[in-house]
């Protein structure tokens, strides 16, 4: 996607679909370990490329979904929430 088209989409979201835009900002903030207000205060010329990279097909959002999809079965394998491995570990304290 071209940067110009991405900027148009983000501008539309910012003006017309505020909850979606806020969620995109929060997602970018979480990915970069920042506060959302830090990203909101950046100029659109700086903010939109960050958002495009983070939300694009090769960005952090797509990679996070793939990573979480791969890790989910591991929780079932080790018996998380089913009394498996965690029940056999000694508790300290």
* Model pLDDT for residues 17-52, shown as the tens digit of each residue: 999 999 999 988 998 899 999 999 999 888 999 888
Evaluate whether residue 46 is within a structural domain: yes
- Please say whether the beta carbons of 44 and 51 come within 8 A: no
**Residue 34 falls within a domain, yes or no?**
yes
CA 8 to chain centre: 21
Query: What is the pLDDT confidence band of residue 91, given thresholds at 50, 70 and 90?
Result: low
Q: Does residue 68 fall inside a structural domain?
A: yes
Whether the model clears a pTM of 0.75, i.e. scores above it, the answer is: no
Domain count, the chain: 1
Identify the domain containing residue 48 by its residue range: 3-77
Per-residue pLDDT at 92: 62
Return all residues near 84 (Cβ < 8 A) that are at least 6 apart: 78
Residue 83 included in any domain: no
Q: Give dist(CA 55, CA 86) in Å, integer.
A: 35
Q: What is the pLDDT of residues 41-87, one digit of tens each?
A: 999 888 999 888 887 776 555 444 444 444 445 445 445 554 544 45
pLDDT confidence of residue 58: 64
CA torsion angle 37 41 42 48 (round to 10) = 70
């Amino acid at each position: 996607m071209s940067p110009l088209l991405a900027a148009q989409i983000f501008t539309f979201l910012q003006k017309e679909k505020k909850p979606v835009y806020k969620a995109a900002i929060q997602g970018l903030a979480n990915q970069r370990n920042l506060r959302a207000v830090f990203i909101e205060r950046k100029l659109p010329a700086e903010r939109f490329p960050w958002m495009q990279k983070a939300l694009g097909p090769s960005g952090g959002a797509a990679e996070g979904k793939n990573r979480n999809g791969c890790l989910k079965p591991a929780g079932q394998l080790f018996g998380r929430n089913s009394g498996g491995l965690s029940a056999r570990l000694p508790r300290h304290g």
